[in-house]
Amino acid sequence: MAAMVLCPSCDVYYSRVVVLVQKDEQHLPRKFFTPCALLHTGWWLEAERNTVKVFQESSPSVANITTSRLANVGLSMNPVEIPRGTGSAFVWDKEGHIVTNYHVVMDGNRARITLSDASTWDGEVVGVAKNKDLAVLKIKAPSAKLKPIAVGTSQVLSSRIGYQHDSL
């Protein structure tokens, strides 16, 4: 089992850390850096800083979905819950809409959504687009527990990567 290291910058435990050793000196003690601590060393490139920033801002919006199906096995009249799918999702809005892939929910008749705070909620499929592999579920969680993902526009993205977007 990997050792856990507490990041002094964010009070999060990490199982993986970066080890930096200077090349000129062979007998230096190794320095261990957590991802957050590396941000403050100036060691990472700007693109890496941006990736970590996007992760830190988006991760509270990420959820996990597990689906199952109630079925009678053999001649038994007692239904058994059979696992069907699992996948990632994200919180769309404060009303409890959760977006995931259709293939995660297609074989199940029950869905459980676990939010980033580890709370778990029953979900109901309210819409699907099979040809786009998208599904929308709804949970009845308090709005204070829901952290919607930041949504951008293709026009803003296009301007950042140098692509000229023609409006229709």
> Which CATH number characterizes residue 87's domain?
2.40.10.10
Statement to judge: residues 11 and 65 lie in one domain: no
Statement to judge: residues 139 and 94 lie in one domain: yes
- The pLDDT of residue 8 is 61
Domain carrying residue 24: 5-44
- The pLDDT of residue 166 is 53
* pLDDT 10s digits, 26-76: 544 455 555 565 555 555 566 677 777 888 888 899 999 999 988 887 777
Statement to judge: residues 26 and 97 lie in one domain: no
Statement to judge: residues 64 and 111 lie in one domain: yes
- In the block, which residue shows the tokens 């999702």? 89
Statement to judge: residues 87 and 31 lie in one domain: no
Bridge partners (DSSP) listed for residue 33: 18
Stated pTM of the model: 0.65
Q: Name the region of 133 (left: φ>0; alpha: ψ -120 to 50; beta: rest).
A: left
| Stretch 155-163: mean pLDDT | 61
Statement to judge: residues 65 and 110 lie in one domain: yes
Task: Specify burial of residue 146 (Cβ count, 10 A radius: 0-12, 13-18, 19+).
Answer: buried
Instruction: Give the residue ranges of DSSP H helices in the chain.
Output: 35-39, 46-58, 102-105, 154-161
- Distance, in Å, from the CA atom of 159 to the CA atom of 110, rounded to the nearest integer, reads 42
- In the block, which residue shows the tokens 């062979």? 26
Tell me the residue ranges of DSSP E strands in 21-160.
31-33, 62-71, 80-91, 97-100, 110-114, 120-129, 134-139
